[in-house]
Amino acid sequence: MKSRFQRSLALCAIVLAAAVAVPPAIATSRETIAMSVGRLLEEGHYTRQKLNEDVSKKFLQTYLELLDFSHLFFTQEDVDALNAKYGSSMAGDILLGTLKPAYDIYALYTKRVDDRVAKIKELLKQPIDFKSNATVELSRQKSSWPKDEAEADQLWRGRITNELLQEHLSEHPIEPAPQLVARRYDRLARNVHEQDKDEQIKLFLDALAQAYDPHSEYLSKADMKNFSINMGLSLVGIGAMLRSEDGYAKIESLVPGGPAQVDGRLKVGDRITAVAQGPADYVDVREMRLDKVVEMIRGKKGTRVRLLAIPADATDPSRRKNVELVRDEIKLKDQEARADIIIKKDENGEPIKLGWLTLPSFYADMDKHQKSTTRDVLALLKRLKKENIAGLVVDLRRNGGGSLEEALALTGLFLKSGPIVQTKDYNGNTRISSDPDPGIAYSGPLIVLTSRQSASASEIFAAALQDYGRAVIVGDKNTFGKGTVQTILPIGRFASLLGSHSDEDGALKLTIQKFYRVAGGSTQLHGVASDIVLPSLSDLPEFGESALKNALPYDEVARAKYTKWSDSHSLFVDQLRRRSEERAKGDPEFHYVMEDMDRLRHKIDENRISVNEDQRKKELQDDKLRKETRSKERLARNQEEPRIYRVTLDTVDKPNLQLIMYPGKLAEAKKNGVSPKVDPEAAASDADSDLIGGGDTQGDGKEPAIDPERDETLNILTDLVDLSRGPKTASANHQAPTSPQ
């Protein structure tokens, strides 16, 4: 008979879904929330590890490292004292609702930060020697804490010297280096002091969850809101991306069609100084944390928010403008699936039409059921098939995962039927999840492009298609290696067993299962190995599950029964690999990548940087010369680019599509002095927004881009089409699908 906990777990477990709403009530105490989190971890986590002394030691270590990631503020003396006081009991105290260790350790951290910032300000008044041959560590994540205050002073002297030298050598100095560095650490101290008790407990419970595995975590109410936004790709706000600059929330960009862009009064570069809710008084937001400003600007659809802002063109900073906006739903279209229709020449000089599907995540709106990765991809595939593409690439290079159900359904679009993934719970019971739809949306030549950043649901998709022999996997040596399944458990459902509950209580993202390939192996730690490996700067073991602390081990289950893709659809992997390797050897762009990889590998292994001004100037000059040389070589090559048309969910049914690349565009940009991006899917900026996250909100792709992985993947797909003896491309198939808008 199931226990009360197991029955509750069965009711509440929603794999990678937004939190289940509970009726509003009196907020649960922090102590009760902590007790609930502890019990859920003990009874619900995949490992079923009790909150014993071993967990306690990992818990304390994880909490200290979340606070002091670079091992610079605490000393070993501090760590030893904290271990003696809390090392064997901290985890057990959670079950008693004892949170004193959280507050005491955070108070000590705050004091260490304050003391260090005071010392830094004194250090900045002293002359700094940029002529020594000293070096400092680039990363201290794996280093020991300094043994005492004297050793910490020495480490910080080198660190501050390096920061001052960086600013001194900057081509675009904002202000004198000492003032800039001083303000940076003032901001750090201010952020530490602004963490209230709820935020301190959130960090504390995060540390407890991560002592079990790196993907379990406590989600506060704000975290849950952001989780829902990321899964549903929509929020209610004004449609402005914000960046913290000089103590202000500065407008970085505006979403087309959003309230701010439609209103027209707010401009890029405006700095927000105060925010008011409807007719209420303004609240000064200068020097406020950006996430707090964002929270104030977001709100319910149809409500009003007033902003006081310094115009971007103001010559007098005392000038202000008052803008009142009505909040509305904002669609995060740059995170939706999109496609390209690419017309290039094959090795015989004949045009061939190929499809490219970019999938940033496996999203799903669990509440409203308005967003579905599978539904969106199906619409794009219909358009690509209508255009008679000869082959397709699914680009998962930056896809960190998402909904398990969407991963299953999307895989099914490319297979007739059969198992997709196996999952195992803590009892060792294995469950097989199969393709929910016997139909197939696309049966042509298929390549899946991956990287070390492809994780979780991406690995389920890639692994299944590889095991079935349905697709060729191209990219980094391996994907990320996350082979675990998480569920979202609202704390209020369990806190109610101990007292009152509320949706303010947050939730626990809990690892409850591991998933396995249909062939029996796990993607945990190992990831999905590429059939054809392309040189890439992301292809480093430091960018993977194996580099994370407390990662669960690799294991295997029995092979599932499944039928491989028809033998007549051979993937010709050996031939494709040989052809690709020959091309890569002669590709200057891949030579650049391999040179950069060697330098990066050396830097990571050496983990030191010089604080000698002359040496750093030489390194900067060498970097500049290398970039200039490569730019000249690229211009001299004058390689013909393909013709690329962009298909979005907004344009999928329109007769005309946007032409984003055409022969000569890249060379034209170079001649006009425009530097192309080296990667069209560059990581999002560190901006924050009332959208959540950063990146190109328009996603228009107008900027010419150099992407050797994309180009070689298209070459491999062209070879696969040729070797598969696919349908010959008719003359109509060579024509542009549309006229450019």
Instruction: Kindly give, in sequence order, each residue whose CB lies less than 8 Å from that of residue 429, ignoring residues fewer than 6 positions away.
Output: none
Supply 167's token pair. Answer: 């600013």
Strand, helix or coil at 731? helix
CA distance 188 to 192: 6
Helices (DSSP H) in 573-658: which residue ranges?
Answer: 573-585, 588-606, 613-637
Residue 666: enclosing H or E segment and its boundaries?
helix 665-671
Pairing of the two strands 392-395 and 446-450: parallel
The catalytic position among 333, 344, 424, 482 is 482
CA distance 305 to 42: 44
CB of 414 closer than 8 Å to CB of 446:
yes
Residue with tokens 């040596």: 477
Active site residue 482: yes
DSSP states along 119-152: HHHHHTTS---SSS--EEES--TTSPPPSSHHHH
Active site residue 143: no
CA distance 156 to 168: 18
CB of 594 closer than 8 Å to CB of 535:
yes
CA distance 736 to 659: 10
Active site residue 403: no
The catalytic position among 456, 458, 496, 522 is 456
Angle at the Cα of 305 from the Cα atoms of 300 and 307, rounded to 5 degrees: 150
The catalytic position among 467, 476, 505, 722 is 467
CA distance 691 to 688: 8
What number of residues does the chain have?
741
Residue 340: enclosing H or E segment and its boundaries?
strand 338-345
Distances from the Cα of 576 to the Cα of 104, 151, 338, 594, 708, angstroms:
60, 56, 27, 21, 17
CA distance 594 to 592: 5
CA distance 342 to 352: 8
CA distance 481 to 485: 12
Supply 407's token pair. Answer: 């991963």
Instruction: Kindly give, in sequence order, each residue whose CB lies less than 8 Å from that of residue 324, ignoring residues fewer than 6 positions away.
Output: 304, 305, 306, 307
Residue with tokens 């690709």: 580
Task: Give the active site residues.
Answer: 456, 467, 482
